[in-house]
Structure 1
């Protein structure tokens, strides 16, 4: 049977189904892609425990007491029991059967997360791991994913568990027994109609053991299905965008994979209606053979001007199609993929940008300290602004009035970005009338827009003055002045508001391509790394972060954080390498890539129109435009399900590019979708 993997709601898959004894791959779909796996990583904790039992340093009869700090809601039943102590065997059984979070945290304390990490690496797994204990909410600086992994490594792991390769026969049997008691049969195992509490044996023609992982954006299932004559290992991982819900199509697809495994085992479906429907399912309609010539024609389109591009296989990294891939090129807003990744890496996805109010030197004097949050809004709380989920000035004012009553003077401290508010290469018309970038002051509201709801709206020559006007009005009209360069304000903090988390801010710069927010994030990255807010520091620190992430930036010239400057230069190869890392789920790059806009839903309505609508939701990418380039970089899924990373720059350093160049870029990527399976 043919499995179609839905991509609605930004859903990504990593899937592998393999015969344990012959090595035959029955199904494979981006098996090397790294995704969040929720509770799947607990398997490495259990495996490490049993290795210590085999080494004689641990006994499963050892009794341990739980601690209140280890209690966590979600999956599990120990939180509901009065019994405060359990044996290590019982902890393992609870984790295997119901993925018990309380038991997991207690066992992780006993075994040690570092020991689990070292053990997982010693098994040979570089991409799959348990990152942390279960915490909620997740504190700043802690791993945003409980665990992560890919289907290739996890299939290898469950196959080794079934064969008993790395443990004694007794310990391997214990581990399989814990997994065989697994109560969650909602995914791949849903088709076999097994008895949840008792299926650690042949039942209904199969023997099934598994471990699942579930959070609001993840469904993951790994395990083994056996008939009396055949053993099949599987790992099916699905992750989708935060705020979306893909459970329905994901669980349907997982059930289809269960049916595929059943077919391979010669299993007879006990449900007659489903069996009849499955047997009579029509074959997929034939599609036109992919054409390399059509791709080459689109790549040679004269409207692309001095085209620079690179297309690589997302799974293998193999270069498939290229023109000037190592030519340093103006990036336009594709630069925001670099800035967003750097912000996630350096600041952390949960970091929030503060705006604070301190006591001044005199009674009634307060100091409003800008922390670089350009999304701070003058709009009353609860009313819409351009930025989603901003902090509000009126919240600060209300908190100040509650603390000290009358305010006689407001000192505005915007010095965090002082002297670096504007780059000389930016077009001044961008402030007004075109309104696509303001001065990048550390203290401003609504990106200094005249209209706080519109994207492109005229900006002023003094963003701080706009803050002064609105904040003073909220406080009854006290005197207002700017902080002097040498002043210090060690006063008590009276109030603070904070921006949305960095992960949401990165989503916003990828969604709206907001230049002010991108520049602010770039400056905050530079400051967090010990630099200042100058463009020289932004250049130095963003380049250094990119190098630390393994990107080749030897010829790069990163001038700003937004890509607005025509002086920016980055090669298509560097951008493609970043996006491939993101596609594979590597750290901050993976978090950035999860937030790329997708055709058919979140990408700008003027992209992939007309005949190019055929791509559906197959493209996730970042767009870019300045006078010298129309750029697009991301991942495209081919008709055959292959995934290609691309970085395309329709470039002209002599004369401005036109909308026809943008159309040619979209045409080229559409052709990758339709004919990309011909690239070898």
Structure 2
């Protein structure tokens, strides 16, 4: 989606849209340009207030009285209320929800503008700030703008708020809650059709919080848009000349930015007419000449692919149509999940569910919570959203225990199924925190050990079992907790159990969200089911053997883990392509896996096959992958002529980190397979 920024009436823009987890910039337009931001600067006042709360200088329960001199018209409702005193919490809520000017002036007097200025500078912002209280008319000698800033710094601030940097978890929740009650949804948020202040949760497919600023010459909007798997921060600032009115084109452009964010998040636009109009506006490339082998070969030789390993097969016959180092073992990234998923379906079976059990302990009132490797088990109350689909819930298990046992005095936490194999040394420890894309792989953990059970990439702990124990004990009234010893044997009666979604749904999830924790757990369960243990040596041995049972040549493979995170994994493009081809032909577990691949135009992540590559429509079904050494993609593609091809493409570099342009080159090549693949026959 291309956005043109209107410049009528000398309209200036500063815009940045960035994926908070990958760091990918989705849109950028003069992000360092400093503009008036109207009420946006109030965010620094709220952040400073909560920092003082964290430092024990203030309490949000503190009540303050307004002064007549602080009353100002414009945004807000306190000027309409009879109540002269409010708590600091209520002042923050009014500012977050309706940008209340009266509340802002009162809070600025309590906190102090100088303190806010020093705080903003300490956060590292040179150009974004709150300059003054709200005054009208502005007296001579006072700052021209209430606040100012640029998109680069304000996106950084949004990311800081979402991650909770610089504030306690409690204060971070309060601040996001204030912003999540924001009533002004006229700008970027207008496309999501949210309900007034009631959008501080998932609604219409997204979770949205923001802060806006409006003047007769300014429209500014900063915030966060999230799905369960992705988070996008944005800042969109527009300022035009006094005496002119650019609101119409500016608000239209703000809405376009919202639609771009929605596309990047894979959000399904619920308005059928708007969706149809947008689809119709995308130019559909139709071949103007016969399929070209030269164009296809040029795409395969693109320097952005670095050191590519490529194999393209005829899906029906298996005939090799295009190959570049097709038998050279390569790092896989998350394309490894196709092998892990197929192995899980083959060994465990599509209907298998992973149990979490409670056994009677050795003494009255003692129970044993036995982890079965279900990392999707959730601490979230039943019925509320979590990251994983249809998880089992701790509160269900606790209710069953209370029915059978009554008072519980001790809980023994048995996580030994995966003992000693919870972390591979080749994984980056920053993946646990702050980046949050992989936890310790414990047999007893909840929500993949996420701090935030809804978000994909969320910091993980060093003690996932402790998190389970804390939440389970709270549901049972606070019994004593202890970990099972290595030599203990529990033979007590099974008192309760809950079970995960079936394996076929779990495999769909690892192909959809590329969840690393679930992939690793499935790999370990496959190894155990085949007679091994949960060690990585066993995972290597048993996943390799399972792949061989599926008819794949794995003689050159080095399968280190189940997720593809390790840079030490090595699998050839031929092995991956043959797995996909067997699935396409309907062979057993590979067929079940291939049926669950994500498809362009619907289920595949929206940052793939964008721009001109949208021409593929729904012709591609594939698994994506990325680690430092490779951008990978493997699946099927339908040519313009209606033929199905199987492909495995690895844009690889074992010396330097691959860049986003390598990913784009991978998409470009597969698009060429769609447009020119008939020339291979």
TM-score w.r.t. the length of structure 1 is 0.58
SS at match of 1:646: strand
Cα distance between partner residues in 2 of 1:288 and 1:534: 55
Query: Structure 1, residues 85-141: CA drift from partner, whole Å, max 9, x if none?
Result: xxxxxxxxxxxxxxxxxxxxxxxxxxxxxxxxxxxxxxxxxxxxxxxxxxxxxxxxx
Query: Structure 1, residues 418-477: CA drift from partner, whole Å, max 9, x if none?
Result: 000000000000000000000000000000000000000000001000001100000000
Partner residue in 1 for 2:569: 568
Partner residue in 2 for 1:394: 395
Partner residue in 1 for 2:425: 424
The 5 Å alignment of 1:240-389 reads: 288-389=289-390
> Once the 2 structures are TM-superposed, how far is the Cα of residue 650 of structure 1 from its aligned partner?
0.1
Cα distance between partner residues in 1 of 2:436 and 2:574: 32
Query: Structure 1, residues 502-559: CA drift from partner, whole Å, max 9, x if none?
Result: 0000000000000000000000000000000000000000000111111111110000
> Once the 2 structures are TM-superposed, how far is the Cα of residue 288 of structure 1 from its aligned partner?
3.1
Cα distance between partner residues in 1 of 2:654 and 2:511: 25
Cα distance between partner residues in 1 of 2:679 and 2:415: 55
Cα distance between partner residues in 2 of 1:316 and 1:432: 46
Cα distance between partner residues in 1 of 2:606 and 2:408: 47
Partner residue in 2 for 1:625: 626
Partner residue in 2 for 1:653: 654
Cα distance between partner residues in 2 of 1:650 and 1:414: 39
The 5 Å alignment of 1:125-524 reads: 288-524=289-525
Query: Structure 1, residues 359-416: CA drift from partner, whole Å, max 9, x if none?
Result: 0000000000000000000000000000000000000000000111000000000000
Structure 1: where are the runs of 5+ without partners? 1-284
Cα distance between partner residues in 2 of 1:470 and 1:286: 59
SS at match of 1:320: strand
Partner residue in 1 for 2:672: 671
CA contact (8 A) 2:287 2:675 kept: no
Cα distance between partner residues in 2 of 1:628 and 1:296: 23
SS at match of 2:456: coil
Partner residue in 2 for 1:82: none
- Alignment length (residue pairs): 396
Cα distance between partner residues in 2 of 1:614 and 1:547: 37
Answer yes or no: is 1:532 the counterpart of 2:533: yes
Please give the root-mean-square deviation of Cα atoms over the aligned residues, in Å.
Answer: 0.8
SS at match of 1:633: strand
Cα distance between partner residues in 2 of 1:404 and 1:419: 32
Query: Structure 1, residues 318-343: CA drift from partner, whole Å, max 9, x if none?
Result: 00000000000000000000000000
Cα distance between partner residues in 2 of 1:506 and 1:613: 26
Partner residue in 1 for 2:41: none
TM-score w.r.t. the length of structure 2 is 0.58
Cα distance between partner residues in 2 of 1:572 and 1:663: 19
Query: Structure 1, residues 240-299: CA drift from partner, whole Å, max 9, x if none?
Result: xxxxxxxxxxxxxxxxxxxxxxxxxxxxxxxxxxxxxxxxxxxxx986311111101111
Partner residue in 1 for 2:613: 612
Cα distance between partner residues in 1 of 2:644 and 2:290: 17
TM-aligned CA distance change 1:421 to 1:286, over 3 Å: closer
Cα distance between partner residues in 2 of 1:332 and 1:463: 25
Cα distance between partner residues in 1 of 2:288 and 2:317: 25
SS at match of 1:641: coil
Return structure 1 stretches of 4+ with deviation > 4 angstroms: none
Structure 2: where are the runs of 5+ without partners? 1-285
> Once the 2 structures are TM-superposed, how far is the Cα of residue 356 of structure 1 from its aligned partner?
0.2
SS at match of 1:635: strand
Answer yes or no: is 1:589 the counterpart of 2:590: yes
Partner residue in 2 for 1:641: 642
Cα distance between partner residues in 1 of 2:590 and 2:672: 26
Cα distance between partner residues in 2 of 1:642 and 1:560: 34
Cα distance between partner residues in 2 of 1:498 and 1:644: 38
Cα distance between partner residues in 2 of 1:521 and 1:581: 21
Query: Structure 1, residues 469-507: CA drift from partner, whole Å, max 9, x if none?
Result: 100000000000000000011000110000000000000
Partner residue in 2 for 1:75: none
